């Protein structure tokens, strides 16, 4: 009989930034600067209302900063100043809200089909007083005609092969898809070769970001379109 895994400590109070390892505090301060209080409030939502509303499981609580918020937030390094960004399949605002807090100069639209998730995103955006984030309820395919952005982000939405048709039309021929991926990034790109050609992908690469800030840097598959 296989042994059950122990359930990790999931006390929301443990997610306060002051209780995190020094490297997490340092990384959060570098990324968020004087907006650190907003990031802390976002984490507070994730570990309370986010869990209560069923957007995340309690097992995520102890790893909320490193595996979720900071892992997403470091991707801001790849977003140019003043860009328009769509986050497809935003779920609990990952990476969309984690990025929007770090980058008030960038306008974000979070595209999410599920009503409960959209209601939660609206609640959090209002509470955090984020003026650079809009939420659109729907599948990305339903908003191809109305959303036109410079960058599309996505995490844990789909494998590259199906993610490309679901996201790239939002760029209308010009811009980049930044897909947060795990170790499978290069293999996924290889498997999507036919789709990448169909969508006239100019360049595809696998990058790591946050190497100097995070214990485990974030892997991003970046696809480029247009000139």
Query: Which residues on adjacent β-strands are paired with residue 180?
Result: 155, 220
CA distance 172 to 168: 7
Distance in Å, CB of 117 to ligand SAM, minimum: 5
The answer to the question of whether 94 is labelled as a binding residue is yes
CA 151 to CA 20: how far, in whole Å?
32
Listing DSSP states for 127-167 in one string gives HHT-SSEEEEES-GGGGTTT---SEEEEESS--HHHHHHHH
141 is in an annotated binding site: yes
Beta bridge partners of 218: 209
Say how far apart CA 225 and CA 120 lie, in whole Å: 33
Distance of alpha carbon 167 from alpha carbon 182, whole angstroms: 19
Site for ligand SAM, rule CB under 6 A: 88-92, 94, 111-114, 117, 139-141, 155-157, 166
In the complex, what is the shortest distance from the CB of residue 73 to ligand SAM, in angstroms, rounded to a whole number?
13
Q: How far is the CB of 126 from ligand SAM (least distance, A)?
A: 19
**Is there a binding annotation on residue 89?**
yes
Residue with smaller CB distance to ligand SAM, 81 or 110: 110
The distance of closest approach from Cβ of residue 27 to ligand SAM in the complex, given in angstroms and rounded to an integer, is 19
- Rank residues 130 and 163 by Cβ distance to ligand SAM and give the closer one: 163
Judged by beta carbon, residue 92 or residue 213, the one nearer ligand SAM is 92
Q: Does 140 appear as a known binding residue? A: yes
- DSSP letter for 1, please: -
Known binding positions: 89, 94, 140-141, 155
């Amino acid at each position: 009989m296989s042994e059950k895994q122990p359930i990790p400590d999931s006390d929301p109070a443990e997610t306060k930034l002051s209780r995190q390892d020094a490297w997490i505090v340092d990384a959060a301060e570098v990324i968020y600067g004087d907006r650190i209080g907003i990031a802390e409030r976002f984490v507070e939502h994730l570990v309370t209302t986010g869990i209560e509303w069923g957007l995340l499981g309690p097992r995520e609580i102890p790893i909320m900063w490193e595996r979720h918020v900071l892992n997403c937030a470091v991707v801001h390094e790849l977003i140019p100043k003043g860009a328009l960004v769509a986050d497809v399949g935003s779920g609990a605002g990952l990476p969309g809200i984690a990025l929007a807090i770090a980058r008030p100069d960038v306008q974000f639209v979070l595209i999410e089909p599920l009503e409960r998730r959209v209601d939660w995103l609206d609640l959090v955006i209002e509470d955090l007083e984020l003026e650079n984030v809009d939420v659109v309820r729907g599948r990305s395919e339903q908003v191809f005609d109305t959303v036109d952005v410079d960058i599309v982000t996505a995490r844990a939405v789909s494998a590259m092969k199906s993610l490309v048709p679901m996201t790239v039309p939002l760029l209308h021929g010009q811009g980049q898809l930044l897909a947060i991926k795990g170790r499978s990034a290069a293999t996924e790109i290889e498997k999507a070769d036919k789709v990448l050609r169909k969508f006239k992908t100019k360049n595809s690469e696998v990058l790591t970001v946050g190497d100097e800030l995070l214990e485990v840097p974030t892997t991003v598959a970046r696809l480029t379109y247009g000139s």
